[in-house]
Amino acid sequence: MSTDHDRLAPVTWPPAPIKTERLVLRESAPEDRATFIDLFTSPEVGTYIGGPHQRDEMERTAPEVPGRRFGCFVVDLDGAMIGMISFDRRTPASSGLFLPEGGEAELGYLFLPRSWGHGYAAEACAAALDWFHGSHPGEPVVLTTQTANQASMHLAAKLGFTEVDRFEEFGAEQWFGVRAG
Ligand SMILES: CC(C)(COP(=O)(O)OP(=O)(O)OC[C@H]1O[C@@H](n2cnc3c(N)ncnc32)[C@H](O)[C@@H]1OP(=O)(O)O)[C@@H](O)C(=O)NCCC(=O)NCCS
């Protein structure tokens, strides 16, 4: 069990698995390792996030249970992982600014290409945001995505994120949005 140490009110992790209409959001387990590797080595998934990782290197270096950390949900469809959602605290080195003191929670989402286009990402992210806002009352969530990543831009808007800023980073235009707490 871990807690969100960056904030004053400690939040217990992991929560009980979160069930949506079609999905379950849960903590990572050892049997998810192969899917984490598929996710991070997929050229399609890597298109707007710096490219895919090398499979042989990931096979060697990935932890026994990847993604077992505060704020990282495995998204499970019928007993198998199809994607992941994360809330990570931004650091002083992060681009974009929303709260003057920084340290905002940033939403991330990655899904296997074969699961795209069924509304799973929207369904899972909405449930994850409900968990976040319930456990961190009043806190905003931020999100950065390349403007060229149309699927992600569309998803961000559907989830209720609104634009705060745009900036250049990693050789591409980035969209920085916020969803109020
Ligand atoms: C971003 C991602 C999670 C979206 O997954 P998805 O399965 O397409 O999402 P959903 O099916 O829930 O669709 C959500 C909305 O986006 C729309 N959408 C999906 N792909 C789209 C595209 N290429 N262009 C425009 N809209 C798109 C859907 O139509 C849906 O909107 P609607 O309900 O109004 O029709 C997925 O493409 C992915 O994992 N990409 C790789 C990782 C990545 O780039 N993550 C973002 C890092 S910032």
Q: Which residues contact 88 (CB under 8 A, 6 or more apart)?
A: 71, 105, 106, 108
User: Does the beta carbon of 155 lie inside 6 Å of ligand 1?
Assistant: yes
pTM as predicted: 0.94
DSSP 21-59: SS-EEE---GGGHHHHHHHHH-HHHHTTTT-PPPHHHHH
User: Does the beta carbon of 176 lie inside 6 Å of ligand 1?
Assistant: no
Token readout for 163 is 């634009």
User: Does the beta carbon of 113 lie inside 6 Å of ligand 1?
Assistant: no
In which residue ranges of the chain is pLDDT below 70? 1-9
User: Does the beta carbon of 154 lie inside 6 Å of ligand 1?
Assistant: yes
Element at 61 (helix H, strand E): helix 55-61
Count CA atoms within 13 Å of residue 177 on its CB side: 20
User: Please, what are the domains in the chain?
Assistant: 4-138 (3.40.630.30)
Nearest CA owner, ligand 1 atom 33: 119
Which tens digits make up the pLDDT trace of 11-21?
889 999 999 99
